[in-house]
Structure 1
Amino acid sequence: MAEVLDRTVRMYALLAWTWVRAAARYPVSMVLLALGVAAVGALDLLAIVLMFAHAPVIAGFTGTEVIFLYGTGALAFAVSDLLFGTTERLGLHIRQGTLDAMLVRPVSPLVQVATEEFSPRRLGKLIPAAAVLAIVLPRLDAPWDAGRIAMVPLMVLCGIAIFAGLWVLTASLHFVLIEGHAATKAVTYGGGFLTQYPMSVFGRDFVRGVTFAVPLAFVNWQPALYVLDRPDPAGLPSWLRFASPAAAVLVCAAAALAWRTGLAWRTGLRHYRSTGS
């Protein structure tokens, strides 16, 4: 297992580096595109700043606390998007028959799809999230101790794993759906946007749904409640604040199972029968 994982990581890095070298042949274009992506990503932060220009507190949270949520959620989503965002193209490969060519290569089709046209410009999404997080952490009014300090990087890592699992899980739906971009993006991009705001702005039933059905609350909301020493507005038990690692493992396990076997649909990669083209 360790040998297979090591080979997979090495092949991912090799293919990604090949695409990066190709993009680096046009360095000015690469830098400008990355800056453009960063500017677009900063628009979400601008929306939060504008909201707090008219209200000091929203849903019981201050501007600093909401920006903390933005930074952790956006950083986790940006890294997962960088690593697995192109898996959403799986449906296109299935319809065009190009997935068949991937199956005969000595590299995992998931690695091939995930590294397809790997572009450094997507690094631009990391810039506003990482910069904001570095600025807001020293200004955050939280009862800092060793546990809370350790929780910040842990929640980001777990958030990356959860989003990565969701990317693969939703990509696996394309083995079943003819055109499922709208449905899958509602989970991935919609989930990335959702985690930038306090869950207290949404209804309790919705919060329970993104906690126990699609575990987006474990990206940063539940661990952030621990860091900020806040009670859960939805009244959920306090032990959920430490459940992000377990949620990440479950989502990634479900994604691996869906990719290989298709879960109940029996239409995953193992049961793929080609387009016939």
Structure 2
Amino acid sequence: MAEALDRTVRMYALLAWTWTRAAARYPVSMVLLSLGTAAVGGLDLLAIVLMFAHTPVIGGFSAAEVIFLYGTSVLSFAVADVLFGTTERLDVHIREGSLDSMLVRPVSPLIQVATEDFSPRRLGKLIPAVAVLAVALPRLDAPWDAGRIAMVPLMVACGIAIFAGLWVLTASLHFVLIEGHAATKSVTYGGAFLTQYPMSVFARDFVRGVTFVVPLAFVNWQPALYVLDRPDPTGMPAALRFASPVVAVLVCALAALAWRTGLRHYRSTGS
């Protein structure tokens, strides 16, 4: 198991480095595209700032608390997007028949799809997230202790795993869906937007849905309640605040099962 994982990581790094070297042949373009990606990524933050220009709280949470949610959400999603975002192109490979050629290569098709067109410009998405967290964390009125300090990097790591699992899981749906691109984007990109705000601004039944059906609440909302020492406005059990690692493992396991099942039942398009 460890040997297989090590080989997978090495192959991913090798393919990603190959695409990066190709992009680095045009350094000015690469830098400008990275900065442009960072600027676009900060537009959602601008929307939050404009909201707080007219109200002191959103859903019962202060500006620093909402920006903390925004930063952890964007950082988790950005890393997952960099690692597995291009899996959403699986439907194109299936329609064009290029998935067939991937299946005969001595590298996992998932790794090939995930590293396709890998470019450092995508790392620009990390810039606003890291900057926001650097600003928000010192301004949080939280009872910091060892547990809460450790929870911050843990929640980001779990958020990355959950989003990565959702990327692969939704990509796997393309094995059975004809046109499912819009539906899958509503889970990935829609989920990223959803987790930037307190769940208290949404209806209680909707919050239950993104807790027990599509577990987006475990990306940052539940662990953030522990960090901020805030009661859950939706009345969820307090134990859920520590469930993100378990949820992350379950989502990734389900994604792996869905991917392997899809590949096992895949039949060439003949194109």
Q: Please report the TM-score for the alignment, with normalisation by the length of structure 2.
A: 0.99
Structure 1 CA distance, aligned partners of 2:167 and 2:58? 30
- How far the C-alpha of 1:173 sits from its partner, in A, is 0.1
Structure 2 CA distance, aligned partners of 1:22 and 1:199? 42
| 4+ residue runs over 6 A deviation | none
- How far the C-alpha of 1:135 sits from its partner, in A, is 1.3
- How far the C-alpha of 1:58 sits from its partner, in A, is 1.1
User: Any idea what the Cα deviations from partners look like across 1:218-244, whole Å, max 9, x if unmatched?
Assistant: 000000000000111110100000000
Q: How does 1:31-50 map onto structure 2 within 5 Å?
A: 31-50=31-50
User: Any idea what the Cα deviations from partners look like across 1:50-103, whole Å, max 9, x if unmatched?
Assistant: 000000011100000000000000000000000000000000000000000000
The RMSD of aligned alpha carbons is: 0.5
Structure 2 CA distance, aligned partners of 1:246 and 1:92? 33
Q: How does 1:165-176 map onto structure 2 within 5 Å?
A: 165-176=165-176
Structure 2 CA distance, aligned partners of 1:66 and 1:119? 30
Structure 1 CA distance, aligned partners of 2:212 and 2:181? 23
Q: Alignment partner of 1:196: what SS? A: coil
Structure 2 CA distance, aligned partners of 1:226 and 1:274? 49
Match of 2:190 in 1: 190
- How far the C-alpha of 1:134 sits from its partner, in A, is 1.0
Structure 2 CA distance, aligned partners of 1:48 and 1:176? 38
1:269 to 255, 260, 263: 263
Structure 2 CA distance, aligned partners of 1:257 and 1:97? 23
Structure 1 CA distance, aligned partners of 2:181 and 2:122? 20
- How far the C-alpha of 1:168 sits from its partner, in A, is 0.2
Match of 1:92 in 2: 92
Q: Alignment partner of 1:94: what SS? A: helix
Match of 1:243 in 2: 243
Q: Alignment partner of 2:42: what SS? A: helix
- How far the C-alpha of 1:169 sits from its partner, in A, is 0.1
Match of 1:6 in 2: 6
User: Any idea what the Cα deviations from partners look like across 1:103-151, whole Å, max 9, x if unmatched?
Assistant: 0000000000000000111111000001110111111110000000000
- How far the C-alpha of 1:273 sits from its partner, in A, is 1.3
Structure 1 CA distance, aligned partners of 2:207 and 2:233? 10
Structure 2 CA distance, aligned partners of 1:7 and 1:179? 34
Q: How many residues align?
A: 271
**Which residue identity is paired with 1:270?**
R
Structure 2 CA distance, aligned partners of 1:160 and 1:47? 24
Q: How does 1:1-277 map onto structure 2 within 5 Å?
A: 1-261=1-261, 268-277=262-271
Structure 2 CA distance, aligned partners of 1:205 and 1:271? 36
- How far the C-alpha of 1:270 sits from its partner, in A, is 1.1
Structure 1 CA distance, aligned partners of 2:113 and 2:228? 39
Structure 2 CA distance, aligned partners of 1:248 and 1:183? 22
Structure 2 CA distance, aligned partners of 1:191 and 1:26? 33
**Which residue identity is paired with 2:161?**
A
Match of 1:264 in 2: none
Q: Which runs of 5+ in 1 are unaligned?
A: 262-267
Structure 1 CA distance, aligned partners of 2:202 and 2:132? 24
Q: Which runs of 5+ in 2 are unaligned?
A: none
